[in-house]
Structure 1
Amino acid sequence: MIAEKQSFNRNLIVGILLAASFVTLLNQTLIIIAIPPIMSDFQINASQAQWLTTAFMLTNGILIPVTAFLIEKFSSKHLLIAALSVFSLGTLIGAIAPSFSFLLVARVVQGMGAGIMMPLMQTVMLTLFPPEKRGSAMGMVGLVTGFAPAIGPTLAGFLIVHYSWRSLFYTVLPVALIVLVLALFLMKNVTEQKQVKIDLVSVIFSTFGWGGLLYGFSIAGTAGWMSGQALGSIGVGVVALVIFITRQLKLKQPMLEFRVFNSPMFMITTILSVFVFAIMVGTQTLLPIYAQDVASFTALESGLMLLPGALIMGFMSPVTGKIFDKFGGKWLSVSGFSFITIALVLYANLSLDASLVWIAGIFAIMMNGVSMIMMPLMTAGINALPPHLIPHGTAMNNTIRMVGGSIGTATLISVMSHASLNTFLQEPKQAAMEGIQNAFMLASVLGVLGLLLAFRIKSKSGKAVKK
């Protein structure tokens, strides 16, 4: 079944999609700042509280691979309405949650809506624009993905100081409902529907595969790589994923098409996307630890420290998108990884008395590099695929990036923790400083590897591979 023939305002649809993505991304950054007061209200420890982020990420990781099927099966309008409705329901449950268990359920429900949202938005954006204009279009996506995390920590800090953590959910809910109403009346279907059937066996193995890996690597950074939980979860994930991939290659209508990796350009850009996402998430995890545990900055100062870099990423993304459309992704990626590597080397040499301005300045350099890579790389990879593989390409890219980010963050945290615990230094701050330096040294190696691999990107995308 082909998408219904109807005229539509492309800019209006883009605006609705970007607004929907903005509210889901803003929600992710708000909850991190709210964890301490939530722990106090519900009398829970840090290990229990971290499930508020882990459960959200796990639900995302399980849902994203299924979105390729959903986008082919259902209209983009109905799917967007469903995603926003589910997300709004989760937000409402979170606002009125009488216990931690209800709050955890709320995060899972929110994760279901958000897990559908991002791949859907990217697929529709890539469908609306021809290959030669996709860089600029995805640059607008980068503006949203940079701006939402930029204001999130500062907004959350303000709301929590003056109100309660529930105000975060009450702030997000009306915005989500407004976007939902706009989608109901103004969104049009722009994707092509197919007569596809869901393979429940694939869904089960996908859930245990991606979910197992994400959970295992998420807890490895704190519980330890040799812990039974981490090893068992990763082991289950690997086995399930092998069965899942084998099954997808045999099915006539796979849930997730792994043949997208037949494209060398898609393969390279996906690997590099994992590198840059792991570095970005890892750095955003390490810096607040350094700021609050080592440099004794406040939580609000920690949020403000990341603000300039996030804003730079947001404002630069449309610029780098236009550069990509004109010149391709090779030299953008080379330049971007150069900036990132320089920033990581500087972070590896941080001192105990580094100023807030210095840390923020280095982060701004790094995020400028990320803006040159994140969306241009994804666009370059998708441009190398035929139109019918775009939903699978976006779902695959998002899934691999999420798993890679989880692995990268867990690795950096474990390196930091191991160095901190095994140092002979008696001063706790100095020990923590050494652990953070070692983690950034490892991240620097990843930056260099990314820089070397970036030279293998073609200046202009090659022809799309056939299925």
Structure 2
Amino acid sequence: MTTTDSTTLDAPAARAAAAPDAPARTYPVLRWLVAATFTVILNETVMVNAIPRLMAQFDVGARAAQWLSTAFMLTMAVVIPVTGWFLQRVTTRQAFTVAMSVFGVGTLVCALAPTFPVLVGGRVVQAAGTAVMMPLLMTTLMTVVDERDRGRVMGNVTLAISVAPALGPALSGVVLAAAGWRWLFGLVLPVVVLVGAAGLRRLTDVGEVRASRVDWASVVLSALGFGALVYGLSRVGEEHPGAVPAWGWALGGVLVVAGFVLRQRALTRRSEPLLDLRALTHRTYAVSLAMQSLAFLTMLGAMILLPLYLQDLRGLSPLQTGLLVAPGGVAMGLLGPVVGRVLDRVGARPLVVPGSLGVLASLAALSRLAEGTPYVLLLAVQVLLMVSLAALFTPAFTLGLGALPAHLYAHGSSLLGTAQQVSAAVGTALTVTVLSWRSAQLAAGGAGEAAAYVGGVRAAFSVAAILAVGVVGLALLLPNRLPPTAGLESGAGAPAAH
């Protein structure tokens, strides 16, 4: 990729943009971006409780119905790696307009879908808009907010990035109890229009636009690699694997992703890559990325396992399940700003270390579930898990992206979004595989249906708890604060001008 205008907003300029009078001028930008991001990310998990009803409506099987979630996740994995290049090429207002317009069109298609394939297509369009919004929010935040204020602001952003997926199943349960599934999209559409219109009236462009050519070979490798990887992982546990089994798709995806990485390294030496992997050479960012990915994996695993346990074994309705898990998401959102203020005051380690231990403790407790575990105990453990994740995500976002020079913000945000989608796919695949394998093993040994199912759930949570040990280890590697020179170094390579 050849850069025709290498002007970019460096770290000193970013701090200048966050001068004492900047909050009144630039922070409203973040307010509307957060509102838009919350709206679009909420839809990633809002279909979870609607799948049984859609199976009956469109006369499709469970395998086909899962495409409503798989297609969304797959599209995100394909589109996000391209957003690093895209966000450097267009203005903030242009990127916001594209993201909200595409998402709005997808929402309208879903609301009016006459057939199941059209509904899946609408989900794909929705995901394409969502994939642009989160990197746009993170890149803008790192550009306009002064380092001393990032913890507080990032705490508010946590509401959109981490809480929206947690609240999706609860919201869908409430809507489905009162109305049809089309209202899951019908209620969102006017919100999208209002947030989009209000945001465009108030948004100002941040940073400099750099015209550049896209490396189409990288785009193809990215789409094929991440697409095949996420698709393969999402199919793990299917009874009818098809001509190419799930692990065949996943392995093929890994190999193509390796080719994508090699091409990005080659482009780095010659011009500018589609996704600048030099962000990974910054130790704090790399550790933060790894910790967030692992924590996100365990969170998605718990979000899948608990509804399955509550509905399939305990017999709760989707609405009852949503109401039971909702307090955890609400607590996570309310705690976000508090965590941000504490981060600004005392640093990261007093948050991430207890947070990682809380994740480990809650998953270990869930690994001891029984057929009659009291609901109040389930509620308490789930709230502990979400609160602990809130203590992790805000400092990790702030430290990780703050460690990068300004010209890598967009690429760092894209890497983070891609890692989250892959982690979601891995978490889903791991959960389904362990649950199915252990349940079948216990049933073959003579256990009853309920006992076998509980054993599978406990095994899946046990694996998640083992992975949480890695979260603790990575949390211990994060610094308490960034050094004064963080984000200023050019050793990772500024964009080359040609």
Category of TM-score, reference length = shorter chain: over 0.9
Q: C-alpha distance in 2, partners of 1:104/1:408?
A: 22
Match of 1:198 in 2: 214
Task: Give yes or no for contact 2:301–2:427 (8 Å, CA) kept in 1.
Answer: yes
Task: Give yes or no for contact 1:223–1:230 (8 Å, CA) kept in 2.
Answer: no
Mean Cα deviation higher: 226-235 or 242-251:
226-235
Q: C-alpha distance in 2, partners of 1:256/1:3?
A: 16
Residue-pair matches, total: 467
Task: Give yes or no for contact 2:170–2:323 (8 Å, CA) kept in 1.
Answer: yes
> CA 1:75 to 1:451, structure 2 compared with 1: closer, same or farther past 3 Å?
same
| One-letter code aligned to 1:68 | G
Match of 1:420 in 2: 439
Q: Cα deviations across residues 105-160 of structure 1 (Å, max 9, x unaligned)?
A: 10000010001111111111111102222121111111233543454333322322
Q: Cα deviations across residues 193-220 of structure 1 (Å, max 9, x unaligned)?
A: 1122111110000101111111111111
Whether 1:455 and 2:471 are equivalent positions in the alignment is: no
Matched ranges for 1:50-89 at <5 A: 50-89=66-105
Identity %: 33
Whether 1:356 and 2:375 are equivalent positions in the alignment is: yes
Match of 2:52 in 1: 36
Match of 1:281 in 2: 300
Q: C-alpha distance in 1, partners of 2:163/2:298?
A: 19
Matched ranges for 1:29-428 at <5 A: 29-149=45-165, 151-222=167-238, 228-251=244-267, 252-423=271-442, 424-428=445-449
| One-letter code aligned to 2:89 | K
Task: Give yes or no for contact 2:237–2:432 (8 Å, CA) kept in 1.
Answer: yes
**Unmatched runs of 5 consecutive residues or more in structure 1:** none
Task: Give yes or no for contact 1:224–1:414 (8 Å, CA) kept in 2.
Answer: no
Q: C-alpha distance in 2, partners of 1:52/1:151?
A: 18
Greater RCO, CA 8 A, separation 6+? 2
Task: Give yes or no for contact 1:329–1:376 (8 Å, CA) kept in 2.
Answer: yes
> CA 1:445 to 1:308, structure 2 compared with 1: closer, same or farther past 3 Å?
same
Match of 1:437 in 2: 458
Q: Cα deviations across residues 152-185 of structure 1 (Å, max 9, x unaligned)?
A: 3333223223321111111010100111211332
Q: C-alpha distance in 2, partners of 1:220/1:105?
A: 23
Q: C-alpha distance in 1, partners of 2:419/2:162?
A: 20
How big is the shift at 1:34? 1.5
Task: Give yes or no for contact 2:81–2:222 (8 Å, CA) kept in 1.
Answer: yes
| One-letter code aligned to 1:375 | T
Q: 1:455 aligns to what SS in structure 2?
A: helix
Q: C-alpha distance in 2, partners of 1:28/1:401?
A: 12
Q: C-alpha distance in 2, partners of 1:425/1:194?
A: 65
> CA 1:255 to 1:448, structure 2 compared with 1: closer, same or farther past 3 Å?
same
> CA 1:226 to 1:130, structure 2 compared with 1: closer, same or farther past 3 Å?
farther
> CA 1:425 to 1:145, structure 2 compared with 1: closer, same or farther past 3 Å?
farther
> CA 1:325 to 1:227, structure 2 compared with 1: closer, same or farther past 3 Å?
farther
Match of 2:39 in 1: 23
Q: TM-score, normalised by structure 2?
A: 0.90
Q: C-alpha distance in 2, partners of 1:454/1:180?
A: 37
Q: C-alpha distance in 2, partners of 1:224/1:126?
A: 46
How big is the shift at 1:78? 0.5
How big is the shift at 1:225? 9.4
| Greater helix proportion | 1
Task: Give yes or no for contact 2:290–2:474 (8 Å, CA) kept in 1.
Answer: no
> CA 1:274 to 1:148, structure 2 compared with 1: closer, same or farther past 3 Å?
closer
Q: Cα deviations across residues 371-402 of structure 1 (Å, max 9, x unaligned)?
A: 01112112111111111111111111111122
Q: C-alpha distance in 2, partners of 1:321/1:420?
A: 42
Give me the CA root mean square deviation: 2.1
Q: Cα deviations across residues 403-459 of structure 1 (Å, max 9, x unaligned)?
A: 123113311221111000111243111100001111111111111222123212111
Task: Give yes or no for contact 2:170–2:321 (8 Å, CA) kept in 1.
Answer: no
**Unmatched runs of 5 consecutive residues or more in structure 2:** 493-498
Task: Give yes or no for contact 1:147–1:311 (8 Å, CA) kept in 2.
Answer: yes
Q: C-alpha distance in 2, partners of 1:156/1:327?
A: 38
Q: 1:134 aligns to what SS in structure 2?
A: helix
| One-letter code aligned to 2:231 | Y
Mean Cα deviation higher: 201-210 or 12-21:
12-21
Q: Cα deviations across residues 210-249 of structure 1 (Å, max 9, x unaligned)?
A: 1111111111144599983312211221221111111111
Q: C-alpha distance in 1, partners of 2:227/2:165?
A: 24
Q: Cα deviations across residues 45-72 of structure 1 (Å, max 9, x unaligned)?
A: 1100000000001111111111100110
Q: 1:29 aligns to what SS in structure 2?
A: coil
